Amino acid sequence: MGGSHSLQHIRSALRRTGSWLCGESTGFPQVLTGGAVELASAITIRCAVSIHRLFSDAIPNQADLELRITGEEAHHAAKVKRIGAGQQVYVQDGAGTVALCEVLSSEKVRGLIEVLVRINSVQLVAQDVPEIHVYCAAPKADRIAWLAEQLSQVGSTCWTPLETEFSSQDGADLKLDRLRRIASESSKQCGRPWLMAINPPLALAAALTATKANSLCAVLIGDSDGELPDQALARAAPELTKIGEIAIFIGPEGGFSSRETEQFAKLGATRINLGRHILRIETAAVASVVAVRQELARRGVR
């Protein structure tokens, strides 16, 4: 077998197993040489060691203690993630506490799977400030789960489904518990220490009243005629140190009515442009958070 063909074969196999990474990683180097793989020189491959994340709402703030994971979380860890004794895992509570742990056992106890871990270290991660609260009309049923998942990953602090004059989705059909589970799984997948809150649906008038009552809140509204994100954020929040929350309003497919637009104007909301194309509700919501997070980072705010 020729050297170039061998290298191509190895790369193909590693890509299929998800082990091939470009650039630096936090894994360990593994060198493949000689034998059946005839290469002109040794090939160094960095293999990332994936550390799974589990959820528990009762993490002790102290190392060397044991923690027992039960219920659906333990079942998923053992049967789906195949977590076993000796592995390292992160356990987080969704409120900023993240513990690096070693799995002691993963087994059935009285017919139910339990995962027992020992805490090696505990880290407390502060919530991002300013918080980003998305008020967004719910998209069609087949896209709601995607919206919850992606808003969680890009860093939305909270999502409130918005009821407007042109809303088409019935708030009673949202199945909030399911959406919260999706957001929780998303936070574990992306390594986010804080859970995104998902509120019950709220009428636009009530949402505007809540933001008006918050003197530390800057209000943005998605609008194709608005300013670019850097200009919009500079106008809405010229002094970021005095802002505790950024509220982003995204309308339904039919947009906001003229009466609703007048309400935003009275509130002093700043219009933000998310691109020259017409976006779906869920795309606009996610894009708005990404745009604001990037601009906050550019201005030195995490």
The CATH number of the domain holding residue 66 is: 2.40.240.20
Of 162 and 5, more confident: 162
pLDDT for residue 56: 93
Same domain (yes/no): 201, 220: yes
Domain boundary among 74, 101, 124: 124
Which range, of 24-38, 164-178, 232-246, averages the lowest pLDDT?
A: 24-38
With CA atoms as reference, report the closest residue to 188 among 144, 155, 160, 153. Answer: 153
Of 9 and 131, more confident: 131
Same domain (yes/no): 173, 246: yes
- 169 pLDDT band (50/70/90 cuts)? low
Same domain (yes/no): 280, 209: yes
Is the CB of residue 90 less than 8 Å from the CB of residue 125?
no
pLDDT tens digits, residue range 243-279?
899 999 999 988 899 999 999 999 999 999 998 888 9
Mean pLDDT of 143-160: 95
Same domain (yes/no): 58, 136: no
- 33 pLDDT band (50/70/90 cuts)? very low
Same domain (yes/no): 203, 260: yes
Output the CA–CA distances (angstroms, integers) from residue 153 to 67, 174, 243, in the order listed: 27, 20, 22
Mean pLDDT of 94-106: 94
Of 104 and 61, more confident: 104
Of 294 and 34, more confident: 294
pLDDT for residue 172: 56
Same domain (yes/no): 84, 116: yes
Domain boundary among 107, 124, 141: 124
Same domain (yes/no): 207, 225: yes
Task: Provide the CATH number for the domain around residue 219.
Answer: 3.40.1280.10
Same domain (yes/no): 40, 169: no
Q: What is the DSSP letter of 114?
A: E
Same domain (yes/no): 148, 118: no
Domain boundary among 124, 142, 167: 124
Same domain (yes/no): 104, 149: no
pLDDT for residue 39: 36
Q: Positive or negative, the Cα torsion across 81, 87, 88, 92?
A: positive
Output the CA–CA distances (angstroms, integers) from residue 116 to 8, 62, 86, 96, 120, in the order listed: 42, 16, 11, 21, 13
pLDDT for residue 174: 82
Please tell me the pTM assigned to this model: 0.78
Which range, of 126-130, 155-159, 196-200, 240-244, averages the lowest pLDDT?
A: 240-244
120 is in which domain, residue-wise? Answer: 52-124
pLDDT for residue 259: 94
Same domain (yes/no): 261, 145: yes
Q: How many CB atoms lie within 10 A of CB 26?
A: 8
- Per the structure, the count of domains in the chain is 3
Same domain (yes/no): 174, 287: yes
